[in-house]
Amino acid sequence: MIKPLLHEDPQHIGAYRLVARLGSGGMGTVYLARSPGGRTVALKTVHAHIAADTTFRTRFRLETDAARVIGGQHGAQVIDADPLAETPWLATEYVLGPPLDDAVSLCGPLPEVTVRAVGAALCGALGQLHGSDVVHRDLKPSNIMITAYGPKVIDFGIARAIGDDRLTRVGAAAGTPAFMSPEQASDQEHTPAGDVFALAGVLVFAASGHGPFGSGQPADLLYRVRYAEPDLTGVPTALVPILTRCLAKAPSARPTTQELAAALHDGHGEFADHLPPALLSEIARRAAKVWQFRPERLPAASPEQPVTGSDPSGSGRGTGMSRRKVLSIAGLATAGAAVAGAGLWFRPSWFEAKDAKSPSAAGTSPAASPTARNTEGPWRVLWTTDPSKADDALPPLFVGKTIVVTTGGQLRGLDPADGRELWMYFPTLFDSRAATDGSRLYWLVGKTTAEHSLVSIDPATGQPARTLADQSDFKLPPSTGRTDLVHASAGSVYVAAGSDTPDVYDWHLHAVNASSGTVRWRVPLKKGKKGTGYSSGFAKAIGNRLILGETSYDLMLTAFDTRSGNVLWRTTLPEAASEVSMPVATGGQLANDGSHVYLGSRVLQAISLSTGAVVWEFGRDRLFGSSADGDDRYGPPAVRDGVVYAAEGSRGIVAVDAKRGELLWEVPVSKDNASTTVAPPVHGRTHLYYGDASGLGVIDLSTRKYVRSLETPIRNFALAADKRTLVGNGGDRVVEALRLDG
């Protein structure tokens, strides 16, 4: 995340002029910098008190050497370095793309074809290291960047020469428990076979969303790594034998990187062809952000007037793009970095911290925010939290008097008055979407990844109130199966549960009584015509109908009677899904007016709530701005007073008659204010608010003209019950609240 320089940051380090901050932590700072010739680099520095340690200087030099060994094809190419300087520094290229953990957070478990391509490419990276007698020793999802041309391995802070154990216990911790090899966990020699073990753990995470030995305290993890069998729940069947062999406790039983690469992938096709659309869009978004950066340096903050480093160039998540367009943008951005000095994205994971303040403890106040940017407009910024509070994949939830957001496997409760953190709930292992009926909060948790328990959580304290149902209620086998919390409404919680095998599709939808925990009804789900089975779903109760959307390729909508579970209708909508992407993030974003539901993707569609028939479609032959080659031409729509509003590609907003599907009016916007298709537009009293390249765009509903944009980090947002308070989360995982229409 590009941030302004602080007033105390130096002007230059070595021959490089500092332009912005990319990250900072206890070890040092990563800067955006430019060479005298205009080349843009990511420049790592070390804090002075650490640089004084000669052992750490040696480790820093070894990290630089290891980064040079892996080179630019498999890692961030080293441009320049001076480990002997008073302030040691290392300048590398940027890496265009998200880290693997963010990619899984964004897309969910990755398709098998993606996992195979990533794994084979990483075998090449490790093979290059091992061929130079170097082992990485800390391979994990956050140290792997996914680009349009292949994954890149970063962070060689504890890499070392094979057989050299002189620095094993000096400086940084020797590895990450969740992805250590058994020999590393036992303080034995870590050979190339140990990197293969870690790579298999990374691929389990990519394929299933969880590590092979769960999560928890380091001591528990180290014990499981050494003695427990890996949990491969959710891993595609064809990958299980391959990864099981890699996760053998004995190093000699594991395959080499060459053998593993051959078992994973045949090497054909462009790497981008194996990536899901949502991940390609994220790569494109980060590439586009390059051109929106504006350098600045923050003044010194006085005690009376704190200044925060809000992202001055935040942009919305890009709309869907073809693989060809992603590759062309990536090439353009790379060329721009070399010629014009425009910045790409670099993850400062080596410092294990984000830029700006660490998350505030419960009960402390959030950072005062609006002083570093222009916030004038038909809104009022109420508060902005510190970073790392919430992911932008899901919108906030409003539960009683608490705002609930999700980050990783954690729930956080925020005070709606000032955004301060009230509580944090972090279960032992299981991770899922939360759901609310407006007064209660529900989540799926488990003591192990093979357990699935539905719990209610007190929104005032964040403490589990009771367990409503578990895997026996969902009729899941003791060691396999998955659950998906899709909706909560009117005293019922709806959970999809089941398992996929090559021969059997066994998924059911359960309606659980929110008070007693009894399963009111259980009905089978039908496998779609395309794809591999149930992936993930969204649902919304509308009257006595529960509308469930699920996709593994096309979108399948099913209407269930909420009282009996009887199927009222089922329809497949190939125009409402983009391969494996959902048209909405949650059921709460599903637009409806009591007669129809409205969906946006390749076209805008109205579906009858009575019959499931498509009543009208809009936009098949229209131009879509920069997303013309992509799939998600329309974002999730909103409907109010007989009008459907939706972002149309990147070109602006359309208003369509809800009954006839005819265009009523449209507002094109400039490239600087390009619309995004992440969240539905929000209808205020006098203005329409929508996601755009700066953060939030505004259209005057009386004149039907674009007014202006608010530079804000929020990307996914929702409207509170008062219909005037908008709360969103996004860039740097910040949460922000706005009072609309003044």
User: What is the chain's Cα-based Rg?
Assistant: 25
Q: What is the structure's pLDDT at 316? A: 36
**3-class DSSP state of 71:** helix
Question: Mean of the pLDDT values across residues 87-106?
Answer: 84
Q: What is the pLDDT of residue 300?
A: 60
Q: What is the pLDDT of residue 16?
A: 87
pLDDT at 438 over 70: yes
The answer to whether 308 and 367 have CB atoms below 8 angstroms apart is yes
**Which band of pLDDT confidence, cut at 50, 70 and 90, is reported for residue 243?**
very high
Question: Band of the pLDDT at 288, cuts 50, 70, 90?
Answer: low
Contact status, residue 692 vs residue 685, Cβ threshold 8 Å: no
The parent domain of residue 174 ranges over 100-272
Confidence band of 554 (pLDDT split at 50, 70, 90): confident
Closest to 616 in 3D by CA, of 660, 556, 560: 660
Tally Cβ neighbours within 10 Å of residue 526: 15
8 Å CB contact between 347 and 355: no
pLDDT tens, position by position, 641-686 = 999 999 988 888 999 999 999 999 999 888 777 888 888 999 988 9
With pLDDT > 90 as the criterion, what percentage of the chain qualifies? Answer: 36
CA atoms within 13 A on the CB side of 394: 25
For residue 3, what pLDDT is reported?
78
Annotated active-site residue in 101, 102, 138, 391: 138
Range ranked top by mean pLDDT from 12-26, 73-87, 139-153, 326-340? 139-153
CA distances from 350 to 44, 236, 329, 357, 587 (A): 9, 31, 27, 17, 38
Query: Average of pLDDT values for 115-138?
Result: 85
Q: Count of domains in the chain?
A: 1
Structure tokens given for 684: 């205020």
pLDDT score, position 489: 93
What share of the chain has pLDDT > 70, as a percent?
A: 75
Tens-digit pLDDT profile for residues 350-402: 223 333 333 333 333 333 333 457 788 889 999 999 877 887 778 999 999 99
Bridge partners (DSSP) of residue 499 are 506
Tell me the DSSP string of 373-394: S---SSEEEEEEPPSSS--SSS
Question: How does residue 604 score in pLDDT terms, banded at 50, 70 and 90?
Answer: very high
Q: pLDDT digit string (tens) for 21-51? A: 887 765 678 888 887 767 778 888 887 767 6
Provide the pLDDT for residue 7. 82
Does the structure show a pLDDT above 90 at 158?
Answer: no
* pLDDT for position 359: 33
Residue 311 has pLDDT above 80, yes or no: no
Give the pLDDT mean for 537-551.
92
pLDDT band at 146 (very low <50, low <70, confident <90, very high): very high
Could you give the CA distance from residue 222 to residue 170 in angstroms, rounded to a whole number?
20
302, β-bridge pairs: 305
Entry pTM:
0.55
Q: Is position 129 within any domain?
A: yes
Average pLDDT estimate for 439-465: 85
State the first-to-last Cα distance of the chain, in angstroms, to the nearest integer: 30
Distance separating alpha carbons of residues 42 and 24, to the nearest angstrom:
12
412-429 pLDDT per residue, tens: 999 999 999 999 887 755
Average pLDDT over residues 185-200: 87
* Stretch 454-466: mean pLDDT: 91
Q: What is the pLDDT of residue 1?
A: 63
Band of pLDDT at residue 532, cut at 50, 70 and 90: low
Active site residue 138: yes
Most confident of 420-424, 448-452, 607-611: 607-611
Give the tens place of pLDDT for each residue, 77-87: 788 888 878 88
| CATH, residue 200 | 1.10.510.10
Question: Helices (DSSP H) in 441-590: which residue ranges?
Answer: none
Model confidence at 329, pLDDT cuts 50, 70, 90, reads very low
Inform me whether the pLDDT recorded for 237 exceeds 80.
Answer: yes
C-alpha to C-alpha distance for 663 and 121, rounded to whole angstroms = 47
Asked if the structure places residue 554 within a domain, the reply is: no
- Taking the C-alpha atoms of residue 482 and residue 535, their distance in angstroms, rounded to an integer, is 10
Round the average pLDDT of the chain to a whole number and report it.
Answer: 79
Confidence (pLDDT) at 161: 41
pLDDT, residue 449, reads 60
Confidence label for 212 from pLDDT (cuts 50, 70 and 90): very high
In a domain, 641, yes or no: no
Q: Which residues pair with 604 in a beta bridge?
A: 600, 618
Q: Is the pLDDT of residue 620 over 90?
A: no
Q: Is the dihedral of CA 547, 550, 554, 560 positive or negative?
A: negative
Tell me the CA distances in angstroms from 582 to 75, 276, 339, 545, one per residue in order.
32, 12, 38, 20
Of 302-306, 476-480, 571-575, the poorest mean pLDDT is in 302-306
- Assigned domain for 111 exists: yes
Q: How far apart are CA 350 and CA 155, in angstroms?
A: 6
Question: Bridge partners of 545?
Answer: 542, 561
Task: Give the C-alpha separation, 157 to 413, whole Å.
Answer: 35
152 falls within a domain:
yes
C-beta separation of 14 from 31 below 8 A? no
**pLDDT confidence of 727, banded at 50, 70, 90?**
very high
Q: Say which range, 215-229, 511-525, 559-573, has the weakest mean pLDDT.
A: 215-229
Query: What's the pLDDT score for residue 160?
Result: 41
Task: Establish if 72 belongs to a structural domain.
Answer: no
Q: Is residue 420 situated within a structural domain?
A: no
CA atoms within 13 A on the CB side of 255: 18
Residue 92 within a domain: no
